[in-house]
Structure 1
Amino acid sequence: MKVSVAGRLPMEKEKIKEFAGKVMSDLSGGMAAGLAYVGAQTGLFQTLSGQGPMTMENVIEKSGLQPRYVEEWLKGMVCAEYLQYDVDNETFELPDELGFLLASEGTDHYMGGLLHSLPMMLSVAPRVSDAFINGGGVPFEDYGQDGILAIDLMNRGLYEQRFVSYWLKSMPTVYEKLTAGGRVLDFGCGTGHATLTMADAFAKSQFIGLDIDPTSIEQACKNAQDAGLTGNLNFVQGTFSDLEPGQQFDLITTCDCIHDLTDPVGVLKKLCELLSADGTVFIIEPKVADSLTENINPIGALYYGMSVFHCMTQSLAAGGPGLGTCLGPSGMESLVKQAGFNSFEVLELKSQMTLFYAVRH
């Protein structure tokens, strides 16, 4: 059935209802994600994890949180289908499979980091909207400690449990070189978890973590001290000019970083200069396809949102190209070839959300 609206062409009534349902579903999902963020932030998922059915009073007592807030959160999570509700016994239960994902901080399957990223990104939505009109963007440092924490929570477990044992091991020559003793630069190291994981695994190699953000480097140094790993690594806050001159590296790693840069080709050219003749640049980037139509899925929508509210806007804020989160393999290959590299390989590593590249002279 078609309906007519003044000044518009006739529209399908069923399609209007369909799109109204989609908007409501997206709004509901946003609120559910917000409630899930609260569950991760306050420890409510931990409270419920592995406990089986719990009464509301049990949850309130065990969590130590404010009763009225806990009550409303529990009911909201039931409606969002995060919690199971037994109407006869009035109990709430977190399925073990969901606890595996949301009450597992520090593991390679923890999804709470993504939840932590949402408030941080959406808090700058008014400023991003203004940038649509007036240009510019939101600099990285304006996301503050919340931004650093969200990135840390998203990546730490993955780096600690997969970086060496799976990702680097997929490159036997690199793995053997580091075992024997090599030099490694972790460019854009953030809070240093990838650097620390490598330094712990390869005692004979030397590692430098480089990042321009002083708060991230301060946390990286603290993480190194807490882990007792200071003998074969050093964290440097600054740019390439802050490295000792004349250094060459057998491995250069850069994790979820290239697409954020203000001068990606210039940085890659410098990495090419710093790489030893038989060295490798290991690049980690978000997993998206080159074709827009292949990205019409929940991960594609998530990554384009992250691009607008974080990755792209911070590059544009500094006068960069704003490559954004969804660069894709062809875009990355074009950048590395412009920088002077000749070898570009997409590594066949299993991951739902990440692409891995090996780049060589």
Structure 2
Amino acid sequence: MSKLSTSLVTLAGSTLLAACQTVPSNFADASDKRAVRAEQLTPITKSPNWQLVWQDEFDGEQIDLNKWSFEQNCFGGGNNEQQCYTARPVNSFVKDGLLTIHAQREDFSGPAANDDADDYLTAGTRTLPYTSARLRTKGKGDWRYGRFEIRAKLPTGQGVWPAIWMLPTDWVYGSWPVSGEIDIMEAVNLHTQSDEVGAPPGEREMRVHGTLHYGRHWPENVYTGSGFLLPDGKSPADDFYTYAVEWQAGEIRFYVDDYHYATQTADGWFSQTKTDNRWQDNGHNAPFDQPFHLILNLAIGGGWPEAVNEKGLNPDALPQNMQVDFVRVYQCSVEPDTGAGCEARDPNARHVKGVKAP
């Protein structure tokens, strides 16, 4: 959920380790401003060749620290989010087979820098008006290629921003977004007035988004993706749905339940690093050819949600919960080194053209 992306209605943002400025628009295709509707698609069947290699069903009495770590900071995600992330049980806990991430109104002080920043311990503290939680598998669950499934029920409200996403573990090609980011699912401002192109007055915001971040360092970074709407006017805040990506060498596909709604390929992404004052390509499949880890978080406010829908941050929307039923990671048994051979594709899924290297 790289929260440096703020302005595109159907594209997601991220919460980064790097810069904290709003980025320019980079639509690969103007039609991507409209979300893909489930009614445009045919449900697919997941390949039987996916083998489960890691999971958390949240059946215990507490968060499994062998699988998850807490990020603890008041950094603001790099784009003026208004929450501090804590490790307190009030902000994240396991009960009745569910992980709950709870965001609430309270003034809280904590480190002003991101957990992985060099100055995390020396940057001082910052006070923000909300608390929440951000969990990650870094160093405990890191994968290159596979199928990643997360079944979740999302919160609502103007300024409320749940995310399920992935960042590189070792940042092989350099800091964000040169080493990439995979946003499996993000949603902002659910149940507020939709501002999708062509949405009629009174239509509620119910889109979820799948996005990739890549390219060069800001301000030449790129983000491309697509929104998705569930069938029959259903809301991702009213029930649990399974959000997934299938990631193989040169291709990443996005799913909600049995709907494959978007695909991005290496022909539409790139990674470049400046060496001797010249931009150098990092390879055809880069940056999505290195181990990534999973992140679950609930942000409040920030550049993207506050700029769209009903604008700003509604304090009356809080408290809110993001609930997760399970997280499952699979490896393709056909070609585990590339992730190929387990594809489940809908020919009507949107092929996001992406942005080619300059």
The TM-score range, normalised by the shorter chain, is: under 0.3
Higher relative contact order (CA 8 A, sep 6+): 2
TM-score (norm 2): 0.27
* Higher share of residues assigned helix: 1
Larger radius of gyration between Structure 1 and Structure 2? 1
Q: TM-score w.r.t. structure 1 length?
A: 0.27
Q: Which has the higher strand share?
A: 2
